């Protein structure tokens, strides 16, 4: 089990929560688990990359942000599947 998220995991969490309507700094701090300073750094970088945009009600996903989020979800799913396959393979090898 991972205890520390990497940069991509944090960005995925931010995109996912913005997509779910948790789009204010305070809501994102709560659900993503970052300090205000760290969160604002990520929000600025993600905005500059065109993944999110600021609106009068908080942040929203851009089209690019939606595509990136879907790719990140797919990658996470594939990673989980690969870990399962590797564990099954290890069990099979141990039985030989």
Whether the pLDDT of residue 70 is over 70: the answer is yes
Question: Which domains does the chain carry?
Answer: 7-95 (1.10.10.10)
Closest Cα to residue 68, out of 4, 31, 13, 23? 13
Q: Give residue 52's region: left, alpha or beta (phi > 0; psi -120 to 50).
A: beta
Q: If you search the block for the tokens 């905005």, which residue do you land on?
A: 47
Q: Are 47 and 53 in contact (CB under 8 A)?
A: yes
Q: For residue 73, give both structure tokens.
A: 């979800």
pTM comes to 0.84
Confidence of residue 95 (pLDDT cuts 50, 70, 90): confident
Whether the pLDDT of residue 15 is over 90: the answer is yes
Average pLDDT, the chain: 94
């Amino acid at each position: 089990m991972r205890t520390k998220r990497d940069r991509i995991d944090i960005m995925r969490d931010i995109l996912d929560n913005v997509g779910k309507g948790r789009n204010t700094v305070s809501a994102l701090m709560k659900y993503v688990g970052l300090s205000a300073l760290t969160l604002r750094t990520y929000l600025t970088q993600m905005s500059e990359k065109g993944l999110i945009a600021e609106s009068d009600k908080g942040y929203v996903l851009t089209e690019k942000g939606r595509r990136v989020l879907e790719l990140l979800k797919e990658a996470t799913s594939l990673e989980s599947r690969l870990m399962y396959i590797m564990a099954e393979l290890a069990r099979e090898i141990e039985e030989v």
